[in-house]
Structure 1
Amino acid sequence: MFKKLPGDEAQHLVSTTPDTAVVFRPAVVQTPAIVTLVIFAWRLLVGAVRLLWRHPIASAVVAVPGVIWTMYDWRAALIAVTAPVSVLIPWAFFERTSFNRWIGWRLLAWWRLVWVYRRHWQPVMIVSGLGRHVRGRDYLPRLIRIRCTFWADVLTVKMISGQSVKDWADRIDHLAHGFGATSCRVTVERSGRLRLTFPRCDPLAVPLPAVAIPAEASVGPIEIGKQEDGSPYRLKVHGTHVLIAGATGAGKGSFLWSAIRGLLPAMRAGLVQVWALDPKLMELSFGRAIFGDHYAADPAACADLLEAAVKIMQERAGRFAGVQRNHIPTTEDPFLLVLVDEVAFLTAYQSDKGLKVRISAALATLTTQGRAVGVGVMAALQDPRKEVMNIRNLFPDKIALRLDESEQVDMVLGDGARDRGALADLISPRPEQGAGVAYVRLESSPDPIRVRAAYVSDTDIRDMAALFTGDTTPIEMGDAA
């Protein structure tokens, strides 16, 4: 048993045996009061300087009326306060966009910083495991800056030394619920710094009408919808291959038809050819007049069309070898876009093994060799599993619409995409809210982008077919099919 000694006698004992039963009391060093006061005053001064440096406008708003009151009287201070307010209120009502850009979002960022993030930063970091409490001291990531947009709060955070991006990506649910947001996205800003995005609303909750047909012929990038930040979303089709995955009713047709709509002037000018494979006989058949002879629905016809595209690709490669490395669309060598709706029906679910081998070989050849010579593939499917689509890694750009399982997100967009905020499995199944909403991962960036493709209605497709064929009479659905 331990032996207890009265008073302060224990601190005068010296033990030379490691297994002694004597309890030692550590020495207590008393700091002079003047040193404590100096340290406190220094920290107070540094905090005040940091406050003025980081928030000069907010500090001036508080300090200027007080200085005027001290130097003059309360009437002058009241005028100094009411005069700017009388200007800001009409500005906020009649010029809301410019007011928000210069003042509104800054004030909101300051309020969110004080009331939400500074207030909850320490407990959220400790509970989520991103901070450490060691020997009575908290080691926390540093919140550097907050910026508010019309739809989200964007935080710049400096990580603790030794942390990795994966540590944060694995805890996006903790961060979202801790700060009262619906989701959180993690993006690397630079070494040691992250950008956290907390949405406050969903700017893509309302369906988008079809984008206007471009006035000039172009092979892209073509505008097909809107990004989450409000900017137009432009899809690159020339010089890449695109894989689109989504459950039934997720809106894959919005991407297919929006791409065709954006390429329509170039198709009329002879700079683009769109070849359509439609084994379901539903999606692309409605605009069959646009594709002409380059349309196939029967699996055998699909195999023939793909092999014809391979021959064109190989012929171009033979002519371009040693002459040019990049394809420039011309009327002699137009950009060839192969659209495949429900590609799994032609590969994984095809009962004819001979056709299955032909189609798989042609798709693999096009996706490995077609980019440089102006042959692109845009394929859509419902089930992204490897045994269903074993060449999905040959598509540089990938689009994930609403998916059934969380594991499918990484199958489509690559490892770690869901941890970075691509919550495709949580997209609303209601057509008016979730149809056409998707996460896009480009070859040039590992960070997913949330977008929504515009909805191209049956009437829009009829008008497109009439414009392409030069027929001004309305095209009936039966005629188009």
Structure 2
Amino acid sequence: MFKKLPGDEAQHLVTTTPDTAVVFRPAVLHTPAIITVLIFTWRLLAGLIRVIWRHPIAAIVVAVPVVTWALYGWPWGLGLVALVLVGLTAWFFLARASFLRWVGWRLLAFWRRIWVYRRHWQPVMIVSGLGRRIHGRDYLPRLVHVTCTSWADLVTVRMLTGQCVKDWADRVDHLAHGFGATSCRVSIARAGWLLLIIPRHDPLATPLPAVPIPDEATVGPVEIGRCEDGTPWKLKVHGTHVLVAGATGAGKGSIIWSTIRGLLPAVRAGLVQIWALDPKRMELSFGRTLFGDRYAATPDACADLLEAAVAVMQERADRFAGLQRTHTPTTEDPFVLVVVDEVAFLTAYQSDKGLKLRISAALATLTTQGRAVGVGVLAALQDPRKDVLSIRNLFPDKIALRLDESEQVDMVLGDGARDRGALADHISPIPAQGAGVAYVRLETSPDPIRVRAAYVSDADIRAMAEAVTA
């Protein structure tokens, strides 16, 4: 019957032909060719201006040889290119650090922005759920800027309106594997903007030798290893308390002994006293001569030593009251660092309830009142659960070495630490690869920092003890 009908007239037609197909042709507006040409020309010019604005150095590198070629001929243009290449090569070999800072990392960032991130941005955003496809149109977070360092790419992203940091933190695995990396961390750049830290390689994959003993006597921060960005890891012990949590063989001893090694000149100068509690009788016993009579191994001796530290703290508090609010180490009032190797044995696994109460009360008193008068606590444990150490929130600075479960990461570093990239449960159990590797969350920053403590061997410890004895 009728094969093509316009508009709504089809509803008034009745046909007995079963195979009749009603076809509707949408209205087509023919755009003049000149308008189409103008639109594409405008887009080309806008894109060219945007590239020149965002990448001025790359634009100059391309434009200068081309202009020289056009004005003076190809020999001059080719000679200019050769001269620039020779100069860059000489700069690379003579001053590699400055070359990488001003040229190398910028070129690498330009390349990775185009080839890695811009190329895969749409599929990664859509598949991970960070982008939205509405009525056939993709709404994607904006890739703002890419900066390269010696070990990672720093990708600045502008979130979609209505997104939050947790939306990205929950998808760090998608982002890492989508861009060909092993991990990804998320931090806040400013309101509505995020910074994705995507490592290209692991600078902490190999063990670090013991840090040299400082020449000057200092109470900190003391250098005990390296951060992921290559800077020294300096641990603050004076004016704070530090909790170190990690499974067996994770490297708690590396942190403890590296800290003692950094304080050694101050110990010899009388500005620092280290009080050691070693219930396992294994770790701290190697340097027992470093501690003198301030060493305890049995539960009774540990309780007595902790209560003696409380007495020192309270005596100082009585003298400092109304005179000073902070502590300055002197030979008369040195900084006292109480080191507890396995605090869980004393607070949770101790069978004597009386000793357990004494130890828990002394630790709680020290961690709540000791900072202002120069008494700090450095405690290490394997199990970070609340029923094992009920006062873990009294430690402002926390260090998470390799942990067995993902839930333990937030127990040690606080809620949301694992979502921000503190994958302590993914640290390798192989000693050569993962011993000493940790994530640190400081009192002043919610973002975890990946670090590795230097390994202090038995020979290093014996040499330290002999130096103090001598």
TM-score by structure 2 length?
A: 0.94
1:411 aligns with 411
1:146 aligns with 146
- State whether residues 10 and 25 of structure 1, in contact with CA within 8 Å, keep that contact through their aligned partners in structure 2: no
State the secondary structure of the residue aligned to 1:416. Answer: coil
- State whether residues 10 and 23 of structure 1, in contact with CA within 8 Å, keep that contact through their aligned partners in structure 2: no
Q: Write the mapping of 1:244-263 to structure 2, written as runs, cut at 5 A.
A: 244-263=244-263
1:355 aligns with 355
Return the alpha-carbon distance in structure 2 between the equivalents of residues 294 and 265 of structure 1: 18
1:12 Cα offset (Å):
10
The one-character-per-residue Cα deviations of 1:328-347 (angstroms, maximum 9, x if unpaired) are: 11122111110000100001
Return the alpha-carbon distance in structure 1 between the equivalents of residues 30 and 384 of structure 2: 68
Q: Write the mapping of 1:28-43 to structure 2, written as runs, cut at 5 A.
A: 31-43=31-43
Return the alpha-carbon distance in structure 1 between the equivalents of residues 81 and 5 of structure 2: 64
State the secondary structure of the residue aligned to 2:325. Answer: coil
Structure 2 counterpart of 1:9, from 7, 19, 28: 7
1:23 Cα offset (Å):
11
Q: Write the mapping of 1:281-360 to structure 2, written as runs, cut at 5 A.
A: 281-360=281-360
Give the direction of change, closer, same or farther, for the CA distance of 1:117–1:300 in structure 2 (3 Å limit): same
Letter in 2 for 1:10: D
- State whether residues 11 and 27 of structure 1, in contact with CA within 8 Å, keep that contact through their aligned partners in structure 2: no
- State whether residues 5 and 24 of structure 2, in contact with CA within 8 Å, keep that contact through their aligned partners in structure 1: no
1:39 Cα offset (Å):
2.8
Letter in 2 for 1:120: H
Letter in 2 for 1:314: Q
Q: Which moved more, 1:419-428 or 1:95-104?
A: 95-104
1:18 aligns with none
1:368 Cα offset (Å):
1.1
- State whether residues 10 and 24 of structure 1, in contact with CA within 8 Å, keep that contact through their aligned partners in structure 2: no
1:378 aligns with 378
1:462 Cα offset (Å):
1.3
1:310 Cα offset (Å):
1.0
- State whether residues 243 and 379 of structure 1, in contact with CA within 8 Å, keep that contact through their aligned partners in structure 2: yes
1:40 Cα offset (Å):
2.5
Return the alpha-carbon distance in structure 1 between the equivalents of residues 82 and 26 of structure 2: 61
Return the alpha-carbon distance in structure 2 between the equivalents of residues 218 and 369 of structure 1: 23
Question: Moved runs in structure 1, 4+ residues, more than 6 A?
Answer: 11-14, 22-26
2:107 aligns with 107
2:435 aligns with 435
1:30 Cα offset (Å):
5.0
- State whether residues 169 and 186 of structure 1, in contact with CA within 8 Å, keep that contact through their aligned partners in structure 2: yes
Give the direction of change, closer, same or farther, for the CA distance of 1:28–1:315 in structure 2 (3 Å limit): farther
1:260 Cα offset (Å):
0.7
Return the alpha-carbon distance in structure 1 between the equivalents of residues 370 and 31 of structure 2: 76
1:35 Cα offset (Å):
3.6
1:133 aligns with 133
Letter in 2 for 1:168: W
Q: Which moved more, 1:457-466 or 1:179-188?
A: 457-466
State the secondary structure of the residue aligned to 1:438. Answer: strand
State the secondary structure of the residue aligned to 1:216. Answer: coil
Structure 1: gaps of 5 or more residues: 15-21, 471-481
Over aligned residues, Cα RMSD in angstroms? 1.9
Return the alpha-carbon distance in structure 2 between the equivalents of residues 373 and 29 of structure 1: 82
Return the alpha-carbon distance in structure 2 between the equivalents of residues 345 and 85 of structure 1: 64
Return the alpha-carbon distance in structure 2 between the equivalents of residues 31 and 387 of structure 1: 74
2:267 aligns with 267
The one-character-per-residue Cα deviations of 1:206-235 (angstroms, maximum 9, x if unpaired) are: 111111111111110011111111111100
Return the alpha-carbon distance in structure 2 between the equivalents of residues 33 and 120 of structure 1: 33
The one-character-per-residue Cα deviations of 1:110-139 (angstroms, maximum 9, x if unpaired) are: 111111001000110111111111122211
Return the alpha-carbon distance in structure 1 between the equivalents of residues 139 and 435 of structure 2: 44
Q: Write the mapping of 1:437-452 to structure 2, written as runs, cut at 5 A.
A: 437-452=437-452
Return the alpha-carbon distance in structure 1 between the equivalents of residues 159 and 27 of structure 2: 36
Matched, 1:160 2:160: yes
Return the alpha-carbon distance in structure 1 between the equivalents of residues 24 and 348 of structure 2: 75
Give the direction of change, closer, same or farther, for the CA distance of 1:68–1:219 in structure 2 (3 Å limit): same
1:322 Cα offset (Å):
1.8
State the secondary structure of the residue aligned to 2:288. Answer: helix
Return the alpha-carbon distance in structure 1 between the equivalents of residues 186 and 202 of structure 2: 18
Return the alpha-carbon distance in structure 2 between the equivalents of residues 86 and 314 of structure 1: 69
1:107 Cα offset (Å):
1.1
State the secondary structure of the residue aligned to 2:372. Answer: helix
Q: Which moved more, 1:335-344 or 1:203-212?
A: 203-212
1:242 Cα offset (Å):
0.3
Letter in 2 for 1:190: R
Give the direction of change, closer, same or farther, for the CA distance of 1:299–1:73 in structure 2 (3 Å limit): same
Give the direction of change, closer, same or farther, for the CA distance of 1:74–1:217 in structure 2 (3 Å limit): same
The one-character-per-residue Cα deviations of 1:131-155 (angstroms, maximum 9, x if unpaired) are: 1111222111111111111111111
Matched, 1:181 2:156: no
- State whether residues 271 and 334 of structure 2, in contact with CA within 8 Å, keep that contact through their aligned partners in structure 1: yes
Give the direction of change, closer, same or farther, for the CA distance of 1:6–1:147 in structure 2 (3 Å limit): same
State the secondary structure of the residue aligned to 1:368. Answer: helix
1:7 Cα offset (Å):
2.7
- State whether residues 245 and 382 of structure 2, in contact with CA within 8 Å, keep that contact through their aligned partners in structure 1: yes
2:191 aligns with 191
TM-score by structure 1 length?
A: 0.92
- State whether residues 5 and 23 of structure 2, in contact with CA within 8 Å, keep that contact through their aligned partners in structure 1: no
1:294 Cα offset (Å):
0.5
Structure 2: gaps of 5 or more residues: 13-21
State the secondary structure of the residue aligned to 1:332. Answer: coil
1:25 Cα offset (Å):
7.8
1:67 aligns with 67
- State whether residues 403 and 424 of structure 2, in contact with CA within 8 Å, keep that contact through their aligned partners in structure 1: yes
State the secondary structure of the residue aligned to 1:81. Answer: helix
The one-character-per-residue Cα deviations of 1:154-179 (angstroms, maximum 9, x if unpaired) are: 11111111110111100000000000
